[in-house]
Amino acid sequence: MNQKLIAAALLLSSSGWALAAQPLLAPAALSPLLKDPQLRVIDIRDAKGFAVAHIPGAVNAPYGQWRGPASNPGELPDQAKLVALVQSLGLTAQTHAVIVSTGKDATDFGAMARVYWTLKSLGLTELSIVNGGMQAWDAAKLPTTSTPVQVAPSSYAPRFDARWLATRDEVQQHVKLSNAVLVDSRPDAFYQGKTQAPAAKLAGTLPSAVQLDFNQWFVPGSSTFVETAQAKRVAARIQHGPDMVAFCNTGHWAATDWFGLSEVAGLPNVRLYAGSMVDWTQSPDMPAMQNMPGRGEQLLRATKQWWEKKLN
């Protein structure tokens, strides 16, 4: 049945009746699509891993190129940098971009989801993620190559569409007015304020936030994203609202929640707070927080972090 569906999709594509790209592609479904000149596989692993073996025809754009500065990697690179990156990969508004990474674990999936979110915000409408990444591709015994591919740069000059982005100011308004569901994508220790990201100035979560640990989107014990029916059940574990904002520490784990809620479960008006808790706690004003540890505990953690940085 799967082979028939793939053949039908290819037939429709060649006749001008292309089906919309699926947000998740199993390796077996991607393999026959590689002949499509409009398809571009974007491998976001480091250059060394890419050089050893990659999907035929793939181009390399390591994840760090899609991220912000060390002070907060969740911030977006500036518009000019993103446009230059997209053009160097030969992407256009008509490209079916397929993102792949190592697939080693659920955290790695967040890198693919974050790049997917970025490309969608830059105007690409045909987007997919390789479910399970290169680990799944290799497990399916599909071909790889070490031959680099040269692609002609494009002249595509997109403008960033902020429909799927939540800024700090917007989140502050949501907190003030209680008019959006704020979804904390982090595991318990972060949500409960027992630990924090190194660049975050405070531990805790946003006021009234609900928790949806990003790990819940995966088949237990694997890095395989669940099927649509199960994704809808995962999404149903939290309250829904007219607006939803996913956040984490630096907009990485939250990209997985955004992808699951928006692209797979099909919920409308889901946005990503790209800077997330690192951005929130770096606010010059004392930010509103929930589950924040006591003053003594905060000083102890700050001292520990200072010593660790000094020793390193």
- pLDDT at position 285, please? 86
pLDDT at 5 over 50: no
3-state secondary structure of 41: strand
Determine the pLDDT at residue 264: 98
CB 88 within 8 A of CB 181: no
Q: What is the pLDDT of residue 112?
A: 98
pLDDT of residue 286: 78
How large a percentage of the chain has pLDDT more than 90? Answer: 84
Note the pTM of the prediction, 2 decimals. Answer: 0.90
For residues 54 and 231, what is the distance between their CA atoms, to the nearest angstrom?
A: 29
Query: Is residue 282 predicted with pLDDT exceeding 50?
Result: yes
- DSSP one-letter code for 259: I
The yes-or-no verdict on residue 42 having pLDDT over 90 is: yes
Asked if pLDDT for residue 267 goes beyond 80, the answer is: yes
d(CA 155, CA 203): 44
Model confidence over 232-251: pLDDT tens digits? Answer: 999 999 999 999 999 999 99
What amino acid occupies position 270? V
Cα–Cα distances (Å) from 163 to 120, 147, 222, 273, in that order, read: 10, 38, 32, 11
The pLDDT assigned to 10 comes to 43
Model confidence over 200-220: pLDDT tens digits? Answer: 999 999 999 999 999 999 999
**Whether pLDDT at 312 is above 80:** no
